[in-house]
Amino acid sequence: MNVHLSPACLRLACLAGVAAFQAGSISIAQQPGTGQVPPPAVVVEKIEVQEVTNPVQFTARVEAIEAVDLRARVIGFLRNVAFKEGQAVEAGDLLFEIEPSELEASLASARAQLARAEAIRTSAERTLARNRDLFARNTVAQATLDEAQAAFDIAAADVQVAQAALEKAELDLSYARITAPISGSIGRATFTAGNLVGPDSGSLARIVSLDPIRVAFAMSEGLLVTLRLQEAGGGGIDPNALDLTLQLANGTEYDELGHIEFVENEVDPQTGTVIARAAFPNSHHVLIPGQFVTLFVQQRNVPSLPVVPQAAVLQDREGRFVYLLGPDNTVSQQRIDTGARVGVGWAVTEGLNGGEEVVVQGVQRLADGMAVQPSEGQPVSGGGS
């Protein structure tokens, strides 16, 4: 029997056939295949052994160990300024010279006064000797002898006064030459030649010692306790116990190591810190009093330990662990004990020896004994993510 279908029915029949074919294809695609799911991709990193340093950072200020303000001890006109501002000077170098003429005249007068006093004393001594002889022969009275003795005593005292005046005049003349009491760098002269100076003139110039130089900083109580424990045996603070390094204002590292020189004996209750001072060699005068530097303090002879990236470390009730990559690309759980933080990692005190490969990315989806697709460096994108 022939059945005639209209064009609309034919279109509906074609659409139904296409839908049925697509549904069959989807059903076939969704059926489980015979292949296995690929292992997850992970990123691994080799464990390196490093020195476990944990430096403490302080903001510090540079200070001169010695500093002297030069002053005039006598009144007079400056005859000479014998240095250039900013130059290095040695102890004993001539720096200023005061006009000595008036001081030399005072010295000559003092010498004359001493000679006069000594002559008077000599005359009084002879008079006393004669009166003693006459008194022994009952020629003069006791009162006369007493007067002669008093005159001699006064003359002898005058000699001592004149001697002291002479010594002062000599000392004043020596003060006309102002020399450097310490070695160091001298600043600008506040007076030039021709000016009248004296004890009330203030500082003529300032000398600061630059080598060695001191760095002052506020030490934390924790570091102070560490130092005190190290010296508990009765010795002082061991200068070899710590490494002290500086970072300068331009970000460069200072090329000399310092040592703790002095620690104050009281802790500031407001800040919980104590002022400490460290000494640094400064032969090139890179460090200048008054400047700020960054001080790093760390223990010397630190141990070398394996360092594991922080991202590789997991923790459960039993403690911390990592996943180690085996030779067959399977991972195994390894328990570890960690110590100090080192950068973005942990120092491992037990559980690793160095050289192992640990999973640093993709650790959350792992289990002990699971096979993985390892790669080093940047994480792998795509399947397994």
Q: What is the per-residue pLDDT across 77-111, written as a single tens digit (0 to 9) for each?
A: 999 999 998 889 999 999 999 999 999 999 999 99
- Whether 34 maps to a domain, the answer reads no
User: What is the predicted pLDDT for the residue at 269?
Assistant: 81
Predicted confidence (pLDDT) at residue 122 exceeds the cutoff of 50: yes
**In this structure, what CATH number is given to the domain that contains residue 315?**
2.40.420.20
CA distance 48 to 350: 14
**In this structure, what CATH number is given to the domain that contains residue 119?**
1.10.287
Beta bridge partners of 42: 374
Residue range 236-263: mean pLDDT, rounded = 80
Residue 242 · residue 58 · CB < 8 Å: no
Better-scored residue on pLDDT, 207 or 349: 207
- 170-175: list long-range contacts, CB under 8 Å, 24+ apart: 170/107, 170/110, 172/73, 172/74, 172/103, 172/106, 172/107, 173/100, 173/103, 173/104, 173/106, 173/107, 175/72, 175/73, 175/74, 175/98
Pick from 238, 268, 299: which residue ends a domain? 299
- Whether 330 maps to a domain, the answer reads yes
3-state secondary structure of 378: coil
Better-scored residue on pLDDT, 151 or 300: 151
Q: Distances in Å between the alpha carbon of 43 and those of 334, 370, 372, 385?
A: 17, 14, 10, 12
CA distance 216 to 208: 16
Residues 277 and 323 in one domain: no
CA distance 375 to 368: 19
Residue range 127-150: mean pLDDT, rounded = 91
Beta bridge partners of 348: 338
User: What is the predicted pLDDT for the residue at 195?
Assistant: 94
Cβ density class 177-210: b for 16+ within 10 Å, e for less = ebbbebbbbbeebebeeeeebeeeeeebbbbbbb
Closest CA to 244 of 286, 274, 268, 277: 277
Beta bridge partners of 305: 50
Residues 285 and 309 in one domain: no
CA distance 120 to 113: 11
Predicted confidence (pLDDT) at residue 10 exceeds the cutoff of 50: no
Residues 309 and 264 in one domain: no
Torsion region of 22: left, alpha or beta (phi above 0 gives left; psi -120 to 50 gives alpha): alpha
> pLDDT per residue over 47-73, tens digit each?
988 877 667 788 899 999 999 999 999
User: What is the predicted pLDDT for the residue at 9?
Assistant: 46
Q: Which two tokens stand for residue 120?
A: 């008077």
Predicted confidence (pLDDT) at residue 236 exceeds the cutoff of 70: no
The H or E element that residue 21 is part of is helix 7-30
> pLDDT per residue over 166-204, tens digit each?
999 999 999 999 999 999 999 999 999 999 999 999 999
Residues 361 and 344 in one domain: yes
User: What is the predicted pLDDT for the residue at 270?
Assistant: 81
Predicted confidence (pLDDT) at residue 231 exceeds the cutoff of 80: no
Counting the structural domains of the chain, the total is 3
Residue with tokens 């009765």: 234
Strands 56-63 and 67-70: unpaired
- Whether 24 maps to a domain, the answer reads no
- Whether 280 maps to a domain, the answer reads yes
Q: Which two tokens stand for residue 315?
A: 């923790």
Pick from 264, 299, 334: which residue ends a domain? 299
Residue range 366-379: mean pLDDT, rounded = 79
- Whether 192 maps to a domain, the answer reads no
CA distance 311 to 330: 19
User: What is the predicted pLDDT for the residue at 230?
Assistant: 59
**In this structure, what CATH number is given to the domain that contains residue 291?**
2.40.30.170
Strands laid side by side in the 67-70 sheet: 67-70, 205-208, 184-186, 88-89
- Whether 119 maps to a domain, the answer reads yes
Residue 173 · residue 245 · CB < 8 Å: no
Residues 274 and 312 in one domain: no
Residues 265 and 309 in one domain: no
> pLDDT per residue over 323-359, tens digit each?
999 988 999 999 998 877 777 788 888 888 888 999 9
Predicted confidence (pLDDT) at residue 215 exceeds the cutoff of 70: yes
At position 55, the amino acid (one-letter code) is P
User: What is the predicted pLDDT for the residue at 38?
Assistant: 85
0.75 surpassed by pTM? no
Average pLDDT, the chain: 83
Give residue 367's domain range: 41-52+304-376
- Whether 228 maps to a domain, the answer reads yes
Task: Tally the C-alpha atoms within 13 A of residue 122's C-alpha that lie toward its C-beta.
Answer: 6
Closest CA to 291 of 183, 213, 220: 213
Q: How confident is the model at residue 232 (pLDDT cuts 50, 70, 90)?
A: low
- Whether 26 maps to a domain, the answer reads no
Pick from 299, 315, 344: which residue ends a domain? 299
| Percent of the chain whose predicted confidence (pLDDT) is above 70 | 82
3-state secondary structure of 316: strand
In sequence order, what DSSP letters do the residues of 125-172 get, joined into one string? HHHHHHHHHHHHTT-S-HHHHHHHHHHHHHHHHHHHHHHHHHHHHHHH
Residues 283 and 222 in one domain: yes
